Structure 1
Amino acid sequence: MRRKVRRDDLLGTYVPGRSLLHRCPLALKAVLLLGLCITVMLIRDWQFSLAVLALTALASVVSGLRLHRWAASLRPLLFLVLLLGGYHLIFNGPARAASIVLSLLAVVSLSRLLISTTPLPRLIDGLVWLCTPLSWCGVNTERIGLAVSLMIRSVPWLFGCLGELRDAATARTIRANPVRLVTPATIATVHYAHQTGEALAARGLD
């Protein structure tokens, strides 16, 4: 159960629903959310970023994603937010620090809103369609979609694996030193990669 929560917190997962965002065409939804992300990054005003962040929270609630889930999805950014906020607070002042932190949270929240209201296969299909021009140069766009799909599934697995190793070390009253986790994490990752490769080979993919 813990591992599933970590996956959700890391990248976000699709939450079924019948809201307007769920039923909105992927192209329109992606353009709107990407447009907002670009606008946030260009304006870099803490008040505007705060308004967009509040808007994503409201959209999450309206879409049935629940406010606590929205807040939990931003929790993995806490260390980065503290680091960036502290640096800019010291060297550039509170207004700049608030602008950087809120812009980051707004952009991440917008991207998670897209992931939470769109099934992964639709996202991959949209990416493959977007890469269609590359097929004119001989690029296999289906392989691009497969690679992205594997990355999306593998990264949360890796973080879940690290979490389980840390929990196992804690349960044995061993201090969870990150250096000590490198070897078992590497072995588990290589094993996972071999299993993935064998599964792809069994389906005729190399």
Structure 2
Amino acid sequence: MNSLYVEGDSFLHRLPPGLKLLLLLAVSLALFLTRSPLFLGGAAAAGVLLYASLGIGWRQSWIRLRPILLTIAIVALATLLLESVEDGMVALLRLTTLMLVAAAVTATTPVGAFIDAVTRAALPLEKLGLVRASDIGLAVGLVIRFVPEVISRYQALRTAHQARGLKVRPTTMIVPLIIQTLKSADEIAAAIDARGIRGQKRQRKS
């Protein structure tokens, strides 16, 4: 599988994973507690600078963020048409800033470190008998690893369409993309079962 992590020595790279997750949570709360265009615009500009500081490069950054940016643009346009221009602008700035900060965190944190941080954070809930901390950490890790895989599959399907002289349309891309993604999910689930991870959990319970 591909990974969203990019090796580097930036300030964000050196921060502990747990602290980065807390900062991401704080940014998320701040973004959704205000509707000020000035604040949200400044936050979006700060998000651009933060992501640019990672040294990934504009071309690679565009490849990584393009699918998410297109989704945000669609959501913002729908909000603008159904609600108001102000609501559409607020949605665009909020989601863009959140996407940039989250992308910066995932680009500077290895998946293993993410899993460990999330697992430790979920331990209090496990002590209350609400969840299994290791399950939460594994689920988050798999989601992070699947994002670049889905993007890679989308690009491969797009290239195949262009090679056949077909127009790239969402209606012709979404079905094969979903089928390939579900197939990969089944393969990963089978691999997890083959390693006895679920079986070990059942044994611990008994």
8 Å contact from structure 2 (residues 125, 133) kept in 1? yes
Map of 1:122 onto structure 2: 113
- TM-score normalised by L of structure 1: 0.75
Which of 184, 190, 193 is the matching residue for 1:192?
184
Counterpart AA for 1:63? L
Which of 25, 39, 46 is the matching residue for 2:30?
39
Structure 1: which 5+ runs fail to align? none
Q: 1:186 to 1:125 in 2, by over 3 A?
A: same
8 Å contact from structure 1 (residues 46, 103) kept in 2? no
Aligned length: 197
- TM-score normalised by L of structure 2: 0.75
- Larger mean CA deviation between 126-135 and 55-64 belongs to 55-64
Q: 1:71 to 1:38 in 2, by over 3 A?
A: farther
Map of 2:66 onto structure 1: 75
Which of 102, 114, 138 is the matching residue for 1:111?
102
Identity within the alignment, %: 29
Which of 154, 164, 171 is the matching residue for 2:156?
164
Counterpart AA for 1:200? I
Q: 1:184 to 1:15 in 2, by over 3 A?
A: closer
Q: 1:125 to 1:51 in 2, by over 3 A?
A: same
8 Å contact from structure 2 (residues 126, 132) kept in 1? yes
Map of 1:62 onto structure 2: 53
Q: 1:128 to 1:188 in 2, by over 3 A?
A: same
1:127 offset after TM fit, Å? 0.7
Q: 1:67 to 1:48 in 2, by over 3 A?
A: farther
CA distances 1:80-118 after superposition (whole Å, capped 9, x unpaired): 344344344456544433222111111111111111121
Which of 14, 17, 22 is the matching residue for 1:23?
14
Partner SS for 1:131: helix
Partner SS for 2:197: coil
Q: Considering only aligned residues, what root-mean-square deviation do their CA atoms show, in Å? A: 3.2
